[in-house]
Amino acid sequence: MRIDIALSSVYEYHTRNLSFQRPAHGPSYMDLRNKLDLTVEYTKYTVGGRVDTYNFFADRAPCHGSFPNCKGVYYPEKLFLKIRHKNFEFVGGDFYLTLGRGLVLAIRKVDEFAIDNSLRGARMSYDDGTIRAVVAGGFVNINNFDPVQETILKDPYDFIFAARLAHRFAQKINIGAHYVHMRFAPFEDDTGLAPKGYSFDTYSHVAGGSLEISQLFNKVDFYFEGNGHAQTIGVKDILGYGFYANLTAYLFPVTLLIEGNYYKNWGLIAELQTLYRKTNPDDIRTIDNLPVITYANPPSMERDDLDTLGETVNNRGIRARIDYTLPNRATVLHLNYMLRVGFAATEGVEPLYIHHLYGGVEHRSAAFSANVNGGIREGLNNPDWRIIHGDADLSFHFLKRHSIETRAIYWWNNKSGNIFHIVDLQLGYAFSKVFSAAFLYSYYDEDQTAGVLRHYFAGEIKFQLFGYGSIKVHFGATRGGLRCISGVCRVFPPFEGFRTELNLRF
């Protein structure tokens, strides 16, 4: 028998919160968030679950209707039973599910943003190395705490059914087909698609297939996926499609990546969630700040860590990247170019042509590591939309377990003639497996609202707890702005105050 216990605890003291930054809360407040995970595994059975607790203190602002008087909320989450038998696996309760490259369905977890969407229902899968099949269905169960606005969210109660069948040929070729049905919880319409006050169900059907070829001639990987999408919103039917292709050639010392996409009316899966949040607010001040819950993650061809929104509703584009490994095998040079055309669903609207050119170098050795990038992203037919960006991560190692780590980011931005700058600097020291400390500075001048800082200073220290976890303490101010990770983008407000984070695992 194996038992895993994990505890995550975050305490924050917000010393300064402007009314428009986190509007559900007062000018200063404290919050405490805990997550306790328990998983027990015995032979072919695994059972697990999590309890989430959220507490707010000294907060004068009203909270979510499910969070009376800001006293606290306790949620049982991610409860599941898993049974494995030969080539079969059954899961009852909460589970994650991604089909293909996420173009059709991506019910997943993104730790950095505390996004934790699962299906609560049942999943049956089969895998014998040649045939892979999965059938699943359930209601969407989201993480009920939004870490950006620090509000409690309701589960959307949307239903999803999914099935996929794939076959492997000659250990190199995978051919698959899939189908997804989504029926969204009814809500009162405010879109103009139906008479005022009319309540209706909205549903989608998505079907498609994929072809994957691995190590063709021992040098080439290829992936293609095509899907059709039919959605009904009230009295209106919408048709869409999504195509994506990726080719990677390993021609040492050169690696070549080429990918392309064509999406038409593809973002409506996510757009319905926008309708949901607009028609179910408990606090009208937070409507524009709540997250949009998406059930798919179409490849956008953008850098995953670049804080830039990638349009995946109506666009077509192509991207090429070439990597060259120097003879020492410790240094890699790369150059990337992307051209994307974003077009409107209606005719007569001029498309937006976006191109992104950047390059860099990555070096890794026992004494020194570096990752340096720079480039430009701009609208070809919009001279007032441009980003010039550069970033560098440097790490100097000495005395086996000690290192000095630095990070620098600079952005020059032009948004419709509004020019602003972003600077992030970090200087840190790490004693491997013992502790680390860092000083952070940021400059951000996009928001000219009175009272908003431009210069941000902070410090943090992190202690490792003898292999059982860690505790991190942060004090100071950190800038807000758009942040993107793994295809998810959110606009974060600044943070000023004190924060501790404890993680334990046994």
Beta-carbon contacts of residue 450 (< 8 Å; ≥ 6 apart): none
Inform me whether the pLDDT recorded for 195 exceeds 70.
no
Q: What would the pLDDT profile of 415-437 be if each residue is shown by its tens digit?
A: 888 899 999 999 999 999 999 99
Q: What 3-state class would DSSP assign to 451?
A: coil
Inform me whether the pLDDT recorded for 288 exceeds 60.
no
Q: Sorting pLDDT into bands at 50, 70 and 90, what band is 283?
A: very low
Determine contact, residues 177/155, Cβ cutoff 8 Å.
no
Inform me whether the pLDDT recorded for 289 exceeds 50.
yes
Encoded tokens for 117: 């969407």
Inform me whether the pLDDT recorded for 282 exceeds 60.
no
DSSP assignments along 73-84, one per residue: EEEEEEEEEEEE
pLDDT, position 485: 74
The region of weakest confidence among 102-111, 207-216, 301-310, 488-497 is 301-310
Inform me whether the pLDDT recorded for 107 exceeds 80.
yes
Determine contact, residues 9/505, Cβ cutoff 8 Å.
no
Inform me whether the pLDDT recorded for 407 exceeds 50.
yes
The region of weakest confidence among 63-72, 113-122, 314-323, 493-502 is 63-72
Inform me whether the pLDDT recorded for 490 exceeds 50.
yes
Q: What is the dihedral of CA 149, 60, 278, 192, to 10 degrees?
A: -150
pLDDT, position 217: 87
Average pLDDT for 446-463: 91
- Containing 272, the helix (H) or strand (E) segment is helix 268-279
Buried b (16+ CB within 10 A) or exposed e, 241-271: bbbbbbbebeeeeebebebbbbbbbbbbbbb
Average pLDDT for 39-61: 88
Percent of the chain with pLDDT over 70: 84
* Closest alpha carbon to 506 in 469, 464, 463: 469
Q: Which of residues 327 and 148 earns the better pLDDT score?
A: 327
pLDDT, position 191: 43
DSSP assignments along 306-347, one per residue: S--PPP-SSEEEEEEEEEEE-TTSSEEEEEEEEEEEE--SST
Inform me whether the pLDDT recorded for 211 exceeds 90.
yes
Every domain of the chain and the residues it spans: 1-215+224-238+261-299, 362-506
Kindly report the pTM of this predicted structure.
Answer: 0.87
Q: Which of residues 460 and 203 earns the better pLDDT score?
A: 460
Rounded distance between C-alpha atoms, residue 199 and residue 431, angstroms: 59
pLDDT, position 324: 98
Inform me whether the pLDDT recorded for 66 exceeds 60.
no
pLDDT, position 150: 83
Average pLDDT for 262-269: 75
Inform me whether the pLDDT recorded for 290 exceeds 70.
no
Q: Sorting pLDDT into bands at 50, 70 and 90, what band is 234?
A: low
Rounded distance between C-alpha atoms, residue 219 and residue 350, angstroms: 41
Burial class from Cβ neighbours inside 10 Å (0-12, 13-18, 19+) for residue 200 reads middle
Q: Which of residues 407 and 146 earns the better pLDDT score?
A: 407
Average pLDDT for 489-504: 91
Q: Sorting pLDDT into bands at 50, 70 and 90, what band is 274?
A: very low
